[in-house]
């Protein structure tokens, strides 16, 4: 079993109710898309956090990433809405 850190920011953090957590990745979760699908089954707050699929961005180990990116070797996966800095 692989353990990774998940981090949530902005309204995705508010919806999940937690800024970060350590989870054991299920064996059948291999990429970001699969991880989102699994997270949505963990409860209504997670389903709500990820329901607006087009507004969810992801970073693996603090680098912007895509939905089809593999999770092998990842230590930290972060989810956040489109950025509004500057």
Q: Residues in the site for another protein, rule: CB under 8 A?
A: 7, 9-11, 13, 59, 61-64, 78, 80-86
- CA dihedral angle for residue 55, residue 59, residue 64, residue 69, rounded to 10 degrees: -90
Compare residues 7 and 30 and give the one whose CB is closer to another protein: 7
> CB of residue 41 vs another protein: minimum separation in angstroms?
25
> CB of residue 67 vs another protein: minimum separation in angstroms?
18
Length, in residues, of the chain: 86
Burial (CB < 10 A; 0-12, 13-18, 19+), residue 79, is: buried
Spatial separation of the C-alpha atoms in residues 4 and 83, rounded to whole Å: 24
Spatial separation of the C-alpha atoms in residues 9 and 13, rounded to whole Å: 5
Compare residues 41 and 84 and give the one whose CB is closer to another protein: 84
Compare residues 1 and 63 and give the one whose CB is closer to another protein: 63
> CB of residue 28 vs another protein: minimum separation in angstroms?
28
């Amino acid at each position: 079993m692989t353990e990774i850190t998940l981090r949530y920011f902005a309204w995705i953090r508010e919806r999940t109710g937690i800024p970060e957590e350590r989870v054991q990745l299920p064996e059948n979760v291999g990429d970001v898309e699969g991880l989102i699908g699994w997270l949505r089954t963990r409860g209504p707050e997670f389903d709500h956090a990820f329901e607006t699929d087009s507004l969810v961005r992801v970073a693996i180990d603090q680098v912007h990433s895509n939905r089809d990116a593999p999770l092998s070797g990842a230590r930290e996966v972060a989810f956040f809405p489109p950025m509004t800095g500057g």
